[in-house]
Amino acid sequence: MELMEPFSSTLDLQTGILEPASQVLRRRLSDMKDMYADADAVKRIFEQEGDRLIYEVYVGGIPEVEGHMPHSTTTIHPGRIGDEFHMTKGHYHVKRDRAEIYLGLAGQGCLLLQTDDGTVRRVEMRRGIVAYVPHFWAHRTVNTGGVPFVFFAAWPGDAGHDYATIEQRGFAKLLISQYGRAVLTDNPRYK
């Protein structure tokens, strides 16, 4: 067994920039175009402004293997695609019996959670809110405000990320803007 050296990182609580970051993932509309229900809105955005940046993830340098605790920060930029708020792709864990912790750092949003049978729960998030993602729940975060929504996440190193299930099935509910409020509604494309 190789001994890992202790280390620290710097986290900008307002922007979500984590340094050093071993990886920075930038998800654009082209990466998520099939996740939004309003295909016409997706097309209009591409035509009018190009490939919009939806969110960024700063991944800390912890190995994603058993015994370690990887972590990241995510910044979801404000905006909507049609009536749907900007959101992350969402995922289950490959090892479904693994949990995760989120800590709101800036802005406001929601954590959407879903079980395999389509049961959906919503947890409001803002600075200082710690949200627990129990095992067996898929999870996605949504920016419901007008400024970047930033949060910190930590998970067991052997959890893995299953994005494919959400890409294929979607979430049973969409979080949309309706009369100035964030409202859950049925997803007509949910499988």
DSSP annotation string for 141-156: EEE-SSS-EEEEEE--
In three-state secondary structure terms, 3 is: coil
Domains of the chain by start residue, with CATH: 10-186 (2.60.120.10)
In three-state secondary structure terms, 92 is: strand
Task: Return phi, psi of residue 141, to 5°.
Answer: -115, 150
For residue 125, the cross-strand partners are: 109
Residuewise pLDDT in 10s, the chain (191 residues): 678 889 899 999 889 999 999 999 999 999 999 999 999 999 999 999 999 999 999 999 898 999 999 999 999 999 999 999 999 999 999 999 999 999 999 999 999 999 999 999 999 999 999 999 999 999 999 999 999 999 999 999 999 999 999 999 999 999 999 998 999 999 998 98
Give the torsion sign (CA, 146, 27, 49, 80): negative
Q: Which two tokens stand for residue 96?
A: 């479904």
What's the pLDDT at 1? 63
Q: Which two tokens stand for residue 119?
A: 């049961």
State the pTM of this model. 0.95
